[in-house]
A and B are shown apart, each in its own frame.
Chain A
Amino acid sequence: MSARLEAAFGKNRAALVTFVTAGDPSAEATLEVLDALVAGGADVIELGMPFTDPMADGPSIQAGSLRALKAGMTLKGTLEIARRFRAKHDGVPLILMGYLNPVLSYGLSFAEDAVAAGVDGCIIVDLPPEEDQELGPSFRDAGLHFIRLATPTTDAARLPAVLSGASGFLYYVSVAGVTGTRAAEAPDIGEAVAAIKRESNLPVAVGFGIRTPQQAADVARVADGVVVGSAIVDLVGQHGHGAPETVRAYVQSLASAIEAAA
């Protein structure tokens, strides 16, 4: 694991993983929101690569993607945001998250360029282990973590396939559904995380549907990381260029709750 991820998941509490869409509503605004995430206490940043057809995302992240695309964001532009973020925040791990087609369209130099921009890992929602050959080898050659998703439908027989080639951390999608709609119950999450940890040494971060500090604290007690995305994207959507302060305060409320749960 990269030193940055190791440090982020090596604290005596769960890591707070926060998501924001690149270029929503502009590159400059995203950089300010990223600063706010760090100031609020985020341990890991996920930067969404916008796509026209985000079929695993709920209304919040769909809207964020469309706002970013409408403002002209591209994958090249997303990597530029990453580079500028990294220049400012040396220690905070940065993960790109998105869909396969823009990455395929960018070409095989994607992994190298991402690493050069200071990106630690990448989540490709529509690239299951069965199609690993599309990007997996180039990620591993470049030293870019391939962060895989496990879900409530990933049974014990399938879990080893998901874990093979996975690195950095594992993202457990706590509900069968799209992002940002509903949350799972903490005891169910705890069981699922424990089952994964019997098969893998990777830290397990849990996401989908976590919005309140209370939910974050509940998940923090049973997982290595808590992922919050749609709620932040909603704040960016509501407050536009004035979002950073609201986002910082919100993230701080999550971070405090997680801290208190440790």
Chain B
Amino acid sequence: MTGKSLRAGPDTRGHFGAFGGRYVAETLMPLILELEREYRRAQADPAFKAEFEDLLRHYVGRPSPLYYAERMTEAVRQVAAQTGADGDTGAKIYLKRDELNHTGAHKINNCIGQILLARRMGKTRIIAETGAGQHGVATATVCARFGLPCTIYMGARDMERQQPNVFRMRLLGAEVRGVTAGRATLKDAMNEALRDWVASVSDTYYLIGTSAGPHPYPELVRDFQSVIGTEAKAQLQEAEGRLPDLLVAAIGGGSNAIGLFHPFLDDESVRIIGVEAAGKGLDGADHAASLSGGRPGVLHGNKTYLLQDEDGQITEGHSISAGLDYPGIGPEHSWLHEIGRVEYRSATDQDALDAFQFLCRTEGIIPALEPSHALAVVRKEAAAMSRDDIIIANLCGRGDKDIFTVAEALGVEL
């Protein structure tokens, strides 16, 4: 790579180009600055890295496999041949199996890293926000593992939709507080977590679940999730002796995607696609595609693309996947979008449902609805690429949590 590395961000003030930053109330500023100082010390401490890696290996179950999805690849090739392509298309599809992690998704990688930071900072209480409940479960899990009390904020509407995860969190010893403020979904849960934090700054650590929020959260969440891309790169090297041609991952806040993408950003031959949730379609308001359907603004501590009305009021996202249902996106994605390094596309609820069933039938893997959005784009892209090409898709979560949603969408009563 000749020019400047694309992996060097953020700058010292937490900006990725025009995005990121630290837009928080003054009460929180000293805390954010302290977190940054502690993170720099942790980065320089070999013992921190060693403990993080040990927990990922023995507690989370890493490395997750990089799996050649042979029947999915074949199925895509057959469809490509039937639809009049010249018969030679259909890229090899590899799946990064982060759904096999303890707790069933990539979220745990970040939670392990942050709980170690919280402990270093001497914090004795953990708070977090959750939408679908996956980050809440992962947070409750590490809090149980480290013996720290935790409070999870969850929109009251989301609690109704995700009863099993609410029960899981409680089993793990977490207090789950329903949020009725605003529209009672993820962004309101995040507001409420910030309100708790501002009133409990001396003893409480806020464990943010995605690569968003005030600096240094987007950076440290990315760093903890980059284990995904780092492993995938080495695993593909071993399997195929080369780099992939295309990476694909789904994006809500964007932590699984930045975790896969970041180690490859300077590899110019690697195309990268992030897939946002188009919900019922980008032509209406019922989607969660911040980049395709939003514009830059400031929310939850960072400047990034947001779903908002003409007066700067935040609008609600919609997706069949509760994990993608957030009106913002991590600031590094906004920057990668503007410089054009990553292509951002979208997949509708229906595209995701189709891809969900396709993976169930071809590979015997029930994916979460979030990565099903990525798989929808993988099917289209693979069909048009050469058989020598290689795609890695991030299978960032498993679908057990989604079976009720899928059943309802398919008109099946359980």
Contacts and interface: CB of A to CB of B under 8 A. Distances in A.
Interface of A: 51-59, 62, 66, 69, 74-76, 99-106, 125-128, 130-131, 148-155, 158, 162, 173, 175-178, 181
Given A74-B311, A75-B311, A102-B312, A53 B187 contact: yes
Contacts of B301: 126
Interface string B300-339: 1100001010111110000000000000000000000000
B164 interface: no
A128 B22 contact: yes
A173 B22 CA distance: 19
Nearest to A77: B311
A62 B194 CA distance: 14
A192 to B, nearest CB: 13
Contacts of A104: 297-298, 312
Nearest to B311: A74
A176 B26 contact: no
B409 interface: no
15 contacts: A52-B313, A53-B188, A55-B191, A56-B27, A69-B313, A101-B297, A101-B299, A105-B312, A126-B301, A127-B23, A131-B21, A148-B26, A151-B26, A153-B31, A176-B199
Given A56-B25, A62-B182, 4 more contacts: A54-B191, A130-B29, A151-B27, A153-B26
B342 to A, nearest CB: 24
B181 interface: yes
Interface residues of B, number: 37
Interface string B15-51: 0000001111111111100000000000000000000
Contact of B311 (A102, A125, A149, A154): A102
A97 B27 CA distance: 17
B130 to A, nearest CB: 17
Nearest to A154: B26
A149 B191 contact: no
10 closest A-B pairs by CB = A105-B312, A102-B312, A177-B199, A151-B27, A55-B191, A56-B25, A74-B311, A55-B194, A149-B26, A52-B313
A101 B202 CA distance: 28
Interface string B163-207: 000000000000000000110000110110011001111100000
Nearest to B296: A104
Contacts of A66: 182
Contacts of A148: 26
Contacts of A105: 297, 308, 310-312
Contact of B195 (A55, A100, A162): A55
Interface string B248-273: 00000000000000000000000000
A104 B288 CA distance: 21
B26 A173 contact: yes
Given A126-B298, A153-B30, A178 B23 contact: no
A176 B201 contact: yes
